C-alpha cells in the first residue's frame, strides 16, 4: 500500500440493510451509481447491501502510481464485515458464501466504458455452499460465468478462449443449447476453463475470495484509463481527475429459475415522454443477458406489449405482485428525484431488488413533454421545467422529421450535420437547384462539397448531401444556419456530375429521382418517406411561454425573404435584427440592373439604374414591414464589395456584354478593377456608401417610402432602424447618417406622414469597438457583427469550405470554434468594452448582436450578462435563443 494519504479521509461508504453512509448528494464522491444506491437504501427500498470505494480512491491510486492509499484495506475489511452481518453470509465461506458484484460508477454515466465482474467469491470451496442452496447445476453455471468474466476483465484473457471451449464441448456431446447442459457438464467446463487459465498465464485461477476482490477492484480502477474510457471522456468533456468509484454489492440472482428475472425500466417513455411505465425484462437471466441481446426481452406491462404487438407475456402478468411492487418503487423514485428515472432491477426467487436508478436519457421530444407534465403535476416548478431542456436540444424539434413508423431503405450513411428531414429530387448543380425551386419543385442538392458559390442552390434546396466534409464543413455550417437538413461526409457516394448520377454500393440514383434526407440520423433514403411536421403548439408553446416570462433579452431574427421572416415570426421573433439588403439584388430580374448601375461610368448613369431598383427594393421592404407590424426592423444598407455582383464565368461575361452593349474587354477590365484582393476589408460597406452615396440614398428612400405606405395601408406604424455596415470611425457614420436623414425628411415631407426611426451602426471591426465611445455620439444603436468581428480580431477566417482551422481546435489552441462561441480569444471582450463605451456616451443606447453567435446558447448567455437588449439569429434558431435567454436569467446566482 502506498503512503502519503490523509488519515482523516474516509475511503469506503457502506449502504443497505436500512441505512447508508452516503446519499445522492455525494455523487461526486460516490459516483452516480454508488450515490443512488445509498439514497435508495436510505429510502427503505430493497437494495442488496454493499459498499462503495470512493472516486478519491481512484484519484489517489493514480497519484500514487497505481497503488492504494494507506488505510484502504482496513476500511474494506470493515465494510466486508458489516456486509457479512447484513446478509448473514460469509465471504469465502464453504457453507454459506457471500458473493458480490464489482462495478464501476463514475460521476457522469459512461455506459459500457468500464468493467464489471459478477459472482465474485466463487471458488472450489464456496461453489459447494452455493450448490447446497441453489442446486449444483446453477452453482457450476455461475462459477464458469465468473471464471470467464474475471479472466477477461482482470486477467486480460480473450472471451473467445472460453467460447471455443464451450462450443467444442457442446459439439462433442451433441448439444445445441446451454439449457441441455447438466451440472456435470458445467463442472467439466469449469475445470477446462481453469486449465486454460493455467495454460495461458502459467498460474492458476485465483481461488481466494479476497485476492479475487482486490484483483477486480484494481481492474475497475484500471479501466478508468482504458482507451475507450479516455476517448469517451474526451468526447463528453469529462475530466480525468473525476475518477471512478467502485461498487461492491452482494449478489442477487435473476437466473435462479422461472421465479427469477432481471430487467430495465423507465418511469416514463424516454422516446415520447408519455407518462407510462416503460421497460423490458427476461425471466431466468442475469443483467448482461438483457444488454447482450442474445434473448429478446419481453415488455414490462400489458399496455407496452399491446403497443409493440408482442406475443410475450409481460412482467405485469408473469409476476403480478412483483410488478405492483416495482411500479410503487418507480413512483417513489420519481417523486423523490423529481425526474424521470432509468432503473435496473432483479427478481430473485420472487423477491424484488433494485440495482440502480438514475435520471433517464431521453429524446428532445420526451424532455419537453416530461418537463411540462412534471410542472403541471406540481412535481417541479416552471423555472425548473425551463432548465430541464437544453436550448440546443430544441433544434431536433423544429424541423419536420421522418415518421417513426416509416420504412427506411438506406442509400448511404454520412454525418448527421443538420437535423430535420426532407424529400425531393436529386440535383447536382446549384444553379439548377435554384431554377427548379423557383419553378416550385422540391430539390435535394447533392455535391462532393459546397462552397460560398453554392449558397443560392443550398437556399433553394430542401436538404443538402455532400460526399466530403465534416460537421463543421461549409455545407454543415450553412445548412444548420439556414435550417436545412444536411448529411455530409457520405464518403461512399460517387458522384458523376457529367453523367448526372451518383453511385453507392452497387446502386445508382439519377438526377431527378426522389430521395429522402434524414439529417438527424445522417441517412439518405430511397424514395419518398413519410414525414411528420413539428408541433409548435402544445407543450412546445407552453414551455416557450414560460421561458418568455422569465427572459430579459429580446430575440430578433436575421431574415430578408418574406418566407424566412414569416417562419421567424412563427418561431417567436420580436423584430428583425438584420435584413441584408444585398441578398435582394441577386434575383435574376434585378442583377442586370445592379450590374448596369455598377458599370455606369457616371453618377447620372448610376442614378438612372438606381431609379429602376427603387421600386423593387420598396416592395421588398413593404412585405417585411407588413409582416412585422410595429416590431422593429433593422435594415442594413449595402455591404459587400461590388465585384460580388459581377459575372464570373466566361459565358456570363458574354451574356452581360451582349445585353449591356458593352465591349467584352472593357467589361472584363471593369470586373478586374473592382475585384477586391481582400474582400473582407476592401471597398465595401460604408466605404462604398461614401464613394457612391446615391446607392444608400436610394435604399434609404425605399425604406421610408415602404414604411409610410404600409403605415397608411395597415394603420400600424413600422419601426425602421437603418444600419450602416463596417463603420470604423464616427466621421463615416456622420456622413452616411446625413444621407439617411435627408432621405427620411424628403419622404416624410412628400407624403405628409412622419414615422419614428433610428440610424445606427454595426460594430464589426476592432477599430469600431475601440472607437465605440465616439461612434455612439452619432449612432442611436449598435449591432455587434461578430462574424466579421471574429475574423478581424483573430486575423483568421473560415476557409472556402466554411471550415475553421481544425488543427487549432485539435491542438487546443482554441477550445471551441470561435465562430460559434463568443466568450473567448478577445471577441467577447471587445463586445463588452464597446457596449460599456457606447453606454457611457449615450445612456440607453440600444444594443444587439446579429452575428451567428446570436443563436449560440452560450453566447446568448454572455449577451445577457453584459446587458445587451436583444440577440438576433437565423429563423430556426429563434426558439433556441429564447430558451437560452431564460436559462441566462435562471442560472444566475
Ligand atoms: C457580421 O459581420 O457579423 C454580420 C452579421 O454581417 P455579415 O455576416 O453579413 O458580414
Ligand atoms: Mg459583417
Weakest-pLDDT range from 478-482, 489-493, 575-579, 599-603: 478-482
- Please say if the pLDDT value at position 834 is more than 90: yes
Ligand 1, pocket-test mutation among 582, 851, 873, most atoms within 8 A of CB: 851
474 is catalytic: yes
Give 471's pLDDT tier (boundaries 50, 70, 90): low
- Predicted pLDDT of residue 654: 87
Ligand 1 close to Cβ of residue 786 (< 6 A): yes
CA-closest candidate to residue 823, choices 879, 768, 785, 866: 866
Q: How many CB atoms lie within 10 A of CB 156?
A: 11
| Mean local confidence (pLDDT), 577-588 | 89
Q: Which stretches does DSSP call E strand in 210-260? A: 244-250
Measure 642 CA to ligand 2 centroid, in angstroms.
Answer: 15
Specify which residues 510 forms β-bridges with.
Answer: 501
- Predicted pLDDT of residue 398: 84
Ligand with an atom nearest the CA of residue 851: 1
**The one catalytic residue among 58, 399, 459, 474:** 474
Mean pLDDT, all residues of the chain:
91
Measure 553 CA to ligand 1 centroid, in angstroms.
Answer: 20
- Please say if the pLDDT value at position 814 is more than 80: no
Percent of the chain predicted with pLDDT > 70: 96
Weakest-pLDDT range from 160-164, 280-284, 347-351, 820-824: 820-824
Which residues have CB under 8 Å from 191's CB, separation 6+?
A: none
Task: Please state, in angstroms and rounded to a whole number, the distance separating the CA atoms of residues 614 and 604.
Answer: 15
Ligand 1, pocket-test mutation among 481, 557, 577, 578, most atoms within 8 A of CB: 578
- Predicted pLDDT of residue 821: 86
| Mean local confidence (pLDDT), 741-759 | 98
| Mean local confidence (pLDDT), 852-873 | 96
Residue nearest to atom 4 of ligand 1 (CA): 785
Ligand 1 close to Cβ of residue 768 (< 6 A): no
Residue nearest to atom 10 of ligand 1 (CA): 788
At 137-182, the pLDDT tens digits run 999 999 999 999 999 999 999 989 999 999 999 999 999 988 899 9
- The pTM assigned to this predicted structure is 0.83
At 697-748, the pLDDT tens digits run 999 999 999 999 999 999 999 999 999 999 999 999 999 999 999 999 999 9
- Position with higher pLDDT, 247 vs 563: 247
Determine the atom of ligand 1 nearest the C-alpha atom of 783.
5
Measure 852 CA to ligand 2 centroid, in angstroms.
Answer: 10
Task: Please state, in angstroms and rounded to a whole number, the distance separating the CA atoms of residues 560 and 563.
Answer: 8
**Residues whose CB is under 5 A from ligand 2 (ion)?**
764, 785, 788
Measure 828 CA to ligand 2 centroid, in angstroms.
Answer: 16
Do 526 and 515 meet the contact criterion of CB atoms below 8 Å apart? yes
Specify which residues 784 forms β-bridges with.
Answer: 763, 849
Weakest-pLDDT range from 491-505, 581-595, 603-617: 581-595
Residue nearest to atom 3 of ligand 1 (CA): 785
Residue nearest to atom 8 of ligand 1 (CA): 787
User: Rounded to the nearest 5 degrees, what angle is found at the Cα of 809, between the Cα atoms of 808 and 813?
Assistant: 60
| Mean local confidence (pLDDT), 603-621 | 94
873 is catalytic: no
Q: What is residue 309's DSSP assignment?
A: T
C-alpha distances (whole Å) from 15 to each of 213, 481, 706 are: 18, 50, 73
Amino acid at each position: 500500500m502506498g503512503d502519503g494519504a490523509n488519515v482523516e479521509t474516509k475511503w469506503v461508504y457502506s449502504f443497505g440493510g436500512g441505512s447508508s453512509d452516503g446519499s445522492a448528494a455525494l455523487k461526486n464522491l460516490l459516483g452516480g451509481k454508488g450515490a443512488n444506491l445509498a439514497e435508495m437504501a436510505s429510502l427503505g427500498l430493497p437494495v442488496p447491501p454493499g459498499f462503495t470505494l470512493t472516486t478519491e480512491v481512484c484519484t489517489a491510486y493514480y497519484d500514487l502510481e497505481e497503488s492504494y492509499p494507506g488505510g484502504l484495506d482496513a476500511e474494506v475489511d470493515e465494510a466486508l464485515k458489516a456486509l457479512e452481518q447484513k446478509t448473514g453470509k460469509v465471504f469465502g465461506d464453504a457453507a454459506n458464501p457471500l458473493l458480490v458484484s464489482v462495478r464501476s460508477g463514475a460521476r457522469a454515466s459512461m455506459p459500457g466504458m468500464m468493467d464489471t465482474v459478477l459472482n465474485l467469491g466463487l471458488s472450489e470451496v464456496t461453489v459447494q455452499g452455493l450448490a447446497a442452496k441453489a442446486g449444483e447445476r446453477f452453482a457450476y453455471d455461475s462459477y464458469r460465468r465468473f471464471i470467464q468474466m474475471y479472466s477477461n476483465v482482470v486477467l486480460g484473457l480473450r472471451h473467445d478462449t472460453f467460447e471455443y471451449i464451450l462450443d467444442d464441448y457442446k459439439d462433442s456431446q451433441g448439444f445445441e443449447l446451454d439449457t441441455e447442459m447438466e451440472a456435470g457438464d458445467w463442472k467439466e467446463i469449469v475445470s477446462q476453463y481453469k486449465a486454460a487459465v493455467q495454460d495461458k498465464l502459467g498460474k492458476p485461477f485465483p481461488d481466494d475470495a479476497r485476492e479475487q476482490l482486490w484483483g477486480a477492484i484494481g481492474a475497475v480502477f484500471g479501466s478508468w484509463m482504458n482507451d475507450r474510457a479516455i476517448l469517451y471522456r474526451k468526447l463528453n468533456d469529462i475530466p480525468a481527475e473525476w475518477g471512478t468509484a467502485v461498487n461492491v454489492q452482494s449478489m442477487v440472482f435473476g437466473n435462479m429459475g422461472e421465479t427469477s428475472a432481471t430487467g430495465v425500466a423507465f418511469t416514463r417513455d424516454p422516446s415520447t415522454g408519455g407518462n407510462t411505465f416503460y421497460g423490458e425484462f427476461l425471466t431466468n437471466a442475469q443483467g448482461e443477458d438483457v444488454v447482450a441481446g442474445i434473448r429478446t426481452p419481453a415488455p414490462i406491462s400489458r399496455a407496452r406489449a399491446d403497443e409493440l404487438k408482442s406475443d410475450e407475456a409481460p412482467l405485469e402478468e408473469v409476476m403480478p405482485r412483483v410488478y405492483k411492487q416495482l411500479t410503487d418503487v418507480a413512483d417513489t423514485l420519481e417523486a423523490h428525484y423529481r425526474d424521470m428515472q432509468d432503473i435496473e432491477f432483479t427478481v430473485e426467487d420472487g423477491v424484488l431488488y433494485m440495482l440502480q436508478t438514475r435520471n433517464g436519457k431521453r429524446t428532445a421530444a420526451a424532455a419537453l413533454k416530461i418537463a411540462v407534465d412534471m410542472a403541471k403535476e406540481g412535481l417541479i416548478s416552471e423555472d425548473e421545467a425551463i432548465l430541464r431542456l437544453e436550448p440546443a436540444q430544441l433544434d431536433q424539434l423544429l424541423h419536420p422529421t421522418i415518421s417513426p413508423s416509416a420504412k427506411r431503405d438506406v442509400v448511404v450513411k454520412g454525418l448527421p450535420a443538420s437535423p430535420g428531414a426532407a424529400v425531393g429530387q436529386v440535383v447536382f448543380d446549384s444553379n439548377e437547384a435554384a431554377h427548379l425551386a423557383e419553378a416550385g419543385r422540391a430539390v435535394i442538392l447533392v455535391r462532393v462539397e459546397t462552397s460560398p458559390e453554392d449558397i443560392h442552390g443550398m437556399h433553394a434546396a430542401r436538404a443538402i448531401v455532400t460526399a466530403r466534409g465534416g460537421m463543421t464543413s461549409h455545407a454543415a455550417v450553412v445548412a444548420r444556419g439556414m435550417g436545412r437538413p444536411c448529411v455530409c461526409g457520405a464518403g461512399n457516394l460517387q458522384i458523376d456530375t457529367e453523367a448526372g448520377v451518383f453511385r453507392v454500393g452497387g446502386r445508382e440514383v439519377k438526377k431527378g429521382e426522389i430521395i429522402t434526407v434524414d439529417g438527424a440520423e445522417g441517412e439518405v433514403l430511397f424514395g419518398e418517406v413519410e414525414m411528420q411536421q413539428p408541433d409548435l403548439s402544445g407543450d412546445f408553446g407552453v414551455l416557450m411561454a414560460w421561458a418568455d416570462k422569465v427572459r430579459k433579452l429580446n430575440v430578433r431574427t436575421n431574415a430578408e425573404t418574406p418566407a424566412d421572416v414569416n417562419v421567424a415570426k412563427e418561431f417567436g421573433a420580436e423584430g428583425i435584427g438584420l435584413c441584408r439588403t444585398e441578398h435582394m439584388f441577386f434575383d435574376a430580374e434585378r442583377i442586370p440592373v445592379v450590374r448596369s448601375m455598377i458599370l455606369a461610368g457616371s453618377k447620372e448613369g448610376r442614378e438612372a439604374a438606381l431609379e429602376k431598383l427603387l421600386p423593387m427594393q420598396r416592395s421588398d421592404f413593404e412585405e417585411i414591414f407588413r409582416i412585422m407590424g410595429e416590431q422593429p426592423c433593422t435594415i442594413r444598407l449595402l455591404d459587400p464589395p461590388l465585384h460580388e455582383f459581377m459575372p464570373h464565368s466566361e459565358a456570363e461575361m458574354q451574356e452581360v456584354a451582349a445585353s449591356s452593349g458593352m465591349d467584352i474587354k472593357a467589361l472584363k477590365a471593369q470586373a478586374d478593377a473592382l475585384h477586391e484582393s481582400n474582400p473582407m476589408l476592401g471597398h465595401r460597406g460604408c466605404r462604398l456608401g461614401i464613394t457612391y452615396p446615391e446607392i444608400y440614398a436610394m435604399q434609404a428612400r425605399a425604406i421610408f417610402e415602404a414604411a409610410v405606405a404600409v403605415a397608411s395601408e395597415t394603420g400600424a406604424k413600422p419601426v425602421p432602424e437603418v444600419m450602416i455596415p463596417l463603420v470604423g470611425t464616427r466621421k463615416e457614420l456622420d456622413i452616411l447618417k446625413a444621407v439617411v436623414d435627408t432621405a427620411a425628411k424628403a419622404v416624410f415631407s412628400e407624403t405628409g406622414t412622419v414615422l419614428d426611426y433610428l440610424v445606427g451602426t454595426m460594430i464589426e471591426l476592432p477599430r469600431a469597438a475601440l472607437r465605440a465611445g465616439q461612434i455612439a455620439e452619432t449612432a442611436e444603436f449598435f449591432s455587434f457583427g461578430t462574424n466579421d468581428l471574429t475574423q478581424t480580431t483573430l486575423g483568421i477566417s473560415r476557409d472556402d469550405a466554411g471550415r475553421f482551422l481544425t488543427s487549432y481546435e485539435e491542438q487546443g489552441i482554441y477550445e471551441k470554434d470561435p465562430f460559434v462561441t463568443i466568450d473567448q480569444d478577445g471577441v467577447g471582450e471587445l463586445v463588452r468594452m464597446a457596449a460599456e463605451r457606447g453606454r457611457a456616451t449615450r445612456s440607453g443606447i440600444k444594443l444587439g448582436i446579429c452575428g451567428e453567435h446570436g443563436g449560440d446558447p452560450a453566447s446568448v448567455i454572455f449577451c445577457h450578462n453584459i446587458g445587451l437588449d436583444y440577440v438576433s439569429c437565423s429563423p430556426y434558431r429563434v426558439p433556441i435563443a429564447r430558451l437560452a435567454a431564460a436559462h441566462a436569467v435562471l442560472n444566475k446566482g
